[in-house]
Amino acid sequence: MRFHMDLCVPQWSHYVAIIYPQDPVLRIGSNLTASCWVHPELGVHASSLFWTLNGQQLPSSFYRVLSPTNLSVTLAGLNASKQTSGDNLVCHNHKGHILAGSCLYVGMPPVKPVNLTCWSRNTKDLTCSWAPGEKGETNISTQYKLKYKLRWYGTEKECADYTHTQLYSCSITQDLHLFTPYEIWVEASNQLGWATSDVITLDILDVVTTDPPSGVTVSRVGQLEDQLSVRWEAPPALKDFLFQAKYQIRYRLEDSQDWKVMEDVGNQTSCRLAGLRPGTVYFVQVRCNPVGIYGSRKAGIWSEWSHPTAASTPHSERMMSGSCDSKSSGDSNSTLRRELKQFFGWARKHAYGCSSMSMKLYDQWRVLMQKSHKVRNQVGSPRG
């Protein structure tokens, strides 16, 4: 692309000089010839002028004196603008004073936006995000518009709330229709061209996510040193909706960033974590997925994780007593701990996550073990 000079004499008003073309928009790699016209009454000859681009003086070999009042400059193979506000091409007199300036916008037309994804928080809105496509940088100001319409009978509308914290996103917050498919797409445009994303079709009920579960509490399970009990409440906004929630729990050590996730907690609102380290602080989070909301057959979208809740497991009795007697009660405690680990190893193979059945089995098993342990102590004790 090449811009040619308009050789007509400019119409002067209060300007001492004029650059033409003014604020051109060009593709990367284009050539540009620009002209600096100085007012005849200024008494300045064009040969005394010079050009700068972004503050750097351009070589005189780029110049051409076209008349006593007209100096041109030719730029070949323009690079992308360093900022969307444009590159500054400036004409100076021999003392360096600025006579006139022009902004060069050098970039590319947009490419097709990709990865269009939408979700609805508590069915109260519909937020969509996308990526600009390829490297995503056009180097000039590019506008993105989220468009949507009801699939069969709706008129085209444009999303208006682009204040979402995520870049390349917009939220539709009014006149939402449930049980009706939407067609949604993104249009990108700038002064060099336009592009449109693929159209996606969705029902709001199929893309619902919730607020995180509330009221998460983590507490000890008696003096069991390797367990913690976690409880929470269903997301408040969906308590009255016809949906079946499923939950996930993740937890980590206080001094670690590695989370361990319990995938299959199910739809209950409590769980017992086992196999933990004694005397250790754990951080726990819970999230929710609304499955089958209003009868939708598609899986919901996981909520954000709840705020971390901390709790510590009890210290080991052996560690606290400091006893060195291998035949003392510490030995029986060690046996109980070993049997607990055997039970939970069996439970993990025969049950899933935090199923209530496995917890009931455990409680029954623990009572039996304690009775058995008490009987062994009575049998082994000397008679008076």
Nearest C-alpha neighbor of 270 from the set 286, 283, 289, 282: 286
- Classify domain 211-312 at the CATH class level: mainly beta
For residue 370, pLDDT beyond 80: no
- Measured on CA atoms in the order 175, 178, 183, 186, is the torsion positive or negative? positive
Give tens-digit pLDDT for 282-313: 999 999 888 766 666 677 789 999 999 999 99
Of the candidates 54, 111, 61, 57, which has an alpha carbon nearest to the alpha carbon of residue 85?
A: 54
Element (H, E) at 331: helix 329-350
| Model confidence pLDDT, tens digit, residues 175-215 | 888 888 999 999 999 999 999 999 999 988 888 888 899 99
Whether the per-residue pLDDT at 318 is higher than 90: the answer is no
Query: Look-up: residue for tokens 């790699």?
Result: 29
The reply to whether 114-206 shares the fold of 17-107 is: yes
What is the average pLDDT score of the chain?
80
**Contacts of 299 by beta carbon, 8 Å cutoff, 6+ apart:** 289, 291
User: Using one digit for the tens of pLDDT, what is the confidence trace for 26-84?
Assistant: 999 999 999 999 988 888 899 999 999 999 999 999 999 999 999 999 999 999 888 77
Mean pLDDT of the 119-145 span: 86
Q: Which residues contact 335 (CB under 8 A, 6 or more apart)?
A: none
Taking the C-alpha atoms of residue 86 and residue 83, their distance in angstroms, rounded to an integer, is 6
What is the dihedral sign for C-alpha 255, 256, 262, 268? positive
The CATH number of the structural domain formed by 114-206 is: 2.60.40.10
Number of alpha carbons in the 13 Å side-chain half-sphere of residue 350: 11
Q: What SS3 string covers 99-139?
A: EEEEEEEEECCCCCCEEEEEEEECCCCEEEEEECCCCCCCC
Q: What is the CATH number assigned to the segment(s) 17-107?
A: 2.60.40.10
Domain boundaries, the chain: 17-107, 114-206, 211-312
Check residue 294 and give its pLDDT.
64
